[in-house]
């Protein structure tokens, strides 16, 4: 099993102001799977993603990624873990405004001993003709594709996507999901996609539903549909 999460608890604040954000989360995800973490705002899904990504700590519990326990790692080793294992795609693109599309992608290329080919990624993501443009010259969908390419250039084992379609219109969102689907099939990248959009659930291998910090449902799709066939 590629991801093993056991009884994760996380709270913020103290005393009467203490809020239990995650309350005993346990689940497993296979290598190469696309998995959706689905839930309303405030359910704890983004906190779980941040903990898996080494951006937040736990109160108790265990997380193993590729057989490696990450909850007890020092900040320095966590930084290495993020560099060597993860790619992040956020709702907001965080592109460097004075670098071109190609330069934004190549910033992360040098973090990996075995990066993907930048020109192949530009072609797959439909960015070849835009590679010399700056972020301000791109549409929202093009900026999101550039953000995806930047995350993928490292050839990460695990891609973490926090509301990757949240700021996009329905057509552009579907195009983004088609790209994630193609990347998963081409490179076998394990993907965790946090979303409140239930429609996305139909295209992935596994769905984890969270409410009030607890998993309320887990299931695997025996008959997945393509991103192209999704209905909003």
Q: What is the pLDDT of residue 90?
A: 81
pLDDT at 114 over 90: no
Q: What is the pLDDT of residue 7?
A: 97
For residues 27 and 218, what is the distance between their CA atoms, to the nearest angstrom?
Answer: 9
Sign of CA dihedral 171, 176, 177, 179: positive
Q: What is the pLDDT of residue 133?
A: 97
For residues 46 and 52, what is the distance between their CA atoms, to the nearest angstrom?
Answer: 10
**Per-residue pLDDT tens over the stretch 16-64:** 889 999 999 999 999 999 999 999 988 999 999 999 999 999 999 999 9
Q: Which helix (H) or strand (E) holds 36?
A: strand 34-38
pLDDT at 86 over 90: yes
The CA angle 100-102-107, to the nearest 5 degrees, is 95
Closest CA to 148 of 190, 111, 114, 104: 104
Q: What is the pLDDT of residue 55?
A: 92
* Contact criterion met (CB below 8 Å) for 186 and 163: no
Q: Within the chain, what is the greatest distance between any pair of CA atoms?
A: 56
Q: What is the pLDDT of residue 111?
A: 83
* Contact criterion met (CB below 8 Å) for 24 and 85: no
Which residues are registered as beta bridge partners of 3?
A: 29, 65
pLDDT at 6 over 80: yes
Joined together, the tokens standing for residue 59 give: 């109160």
Half-sphere exposure of 104 (CA within 13 A, CB side): 30
Residue pointed to by tokens 């219109």? 169
Cα of first residue to Cα of last residue in the chain, in angstroms, is: 32
**Per-residue pLDDT tens over the stretch 179-215:** 899 999 999 999 999 998 899 999 999 999 999 999 9
């Amino acid at each position: 099993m590629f991801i093993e999460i056991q009884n994760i608890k996380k709270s913020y604040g103290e005393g009467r102001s203490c809020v239990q954000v995650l309350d005993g989360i346990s689940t497993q995800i296979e290598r190469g799977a696309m998995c959706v973490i689905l839930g309303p705002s405030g359910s704890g899904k983004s906190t779980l993603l941040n903990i898996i990504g080494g951006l937040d700590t736990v109160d108790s519990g265990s997380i193993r990624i590729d057989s490696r326990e990450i909850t007890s790692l020092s900040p320095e080793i966590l930084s290495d873990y993020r560099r060597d294992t993860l790619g992040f795609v956020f709702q907001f693109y965080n592109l460097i405004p004075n670098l071109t599309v190609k330069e934004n992608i190549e910033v992360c290329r040098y973090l990996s001993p075995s990066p993907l080919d930048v020109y192949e990624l530009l072609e797959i993501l439909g960015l070849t003709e835009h590679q010399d443009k700056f972020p301000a010259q791109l549409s929202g969908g093009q900026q999101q594709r550039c953000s995806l390419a930047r995350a993928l250039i490292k050839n990460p084992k695990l891609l973490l996507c926090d509301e990757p379609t949240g700021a996009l219109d329905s057509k552009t969102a579907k195009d983004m999901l088609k790209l994630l689907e193609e990347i998963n099939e081409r490179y076998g990248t394990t993907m965790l996609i946090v979303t409140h959009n239930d429609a996305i659930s139909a295209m992935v291998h596994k769905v984890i539903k969270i409410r009030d910090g607890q998993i309320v449902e887990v299931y695997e799709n025996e008959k997945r549909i393509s991103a192209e066939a999704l209905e909003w």
